[in-house]
Amino acid sequence: MRDRQSIQTPMLAVDVVLRMNDGLVLIRRRNPPFMGCYALPGGFVEIGETVEDAARREVMEETGISASLVKLVGVYSDPDRDPRGHVVSICYLADGSGELRSGSDASDARIFRPDELPELAFDHARMIRDALAMV
């Protein structure tokens, strides 16, 4: 049996397809990778945090919006989905409320109509397609 401290595992992240005012909330990334590109609100799960709490926290930090999680969209685990390394993302569909503002590692936060989305970072276009196919 291998020493537990020497085991390497993927990093865990959350992403949120956030519905608000008949559109989807996207953030413009302030940091690499994909700096300047639009993306879903999301980020890494902290030690001791549930993925649901991480999803709500990341949405609040990046957009100022309170997220009410509706359903799990899926788990995205392609080892090449993030240039920083193997990152597994758990994606949720959520409804948002509050006043939209950019914060944390987002240089901008906006609402886009689902049929007028900009080019997106990572595999976020796939996550949005999957989420919209569920509703």
Asked whether the CA dihedral 66, 86, 76, 106 is positive or negative, the reply is positive
Residue 127: pLDDT band with limits 50, 70, 90 = very high
CB distance 6 to 80 below 8 Å: no
Sign of CA dihedral 36, 67, 110, 116: positive
pLDDT at residue 7, as a whole number? 83
pLDDT tens column, 95-113 = 999 999 998 889 999 999 9
- For 5-61, write each residue's pLDDT tens digit: 678 899 999 999 999 999 999 999 999 999 999 999 999 999 999 999 999 999 999
Convert the pLDDT of each residue in 71-81 to its tens digit. Answer: 999 999 999 99
Whole-number Å distance between alpha carbons of 115 and 105: 26
Q: Which of 20, 30, 113, 108 is nearest to 66 (CA)?
A: 20
- Please give the model's pTM, rounded to 2 decimal places: 0.94
Domains and CATH numbers, the chain: 4-134 (3.90.79.10)
What's the pLDDT at 6? 72
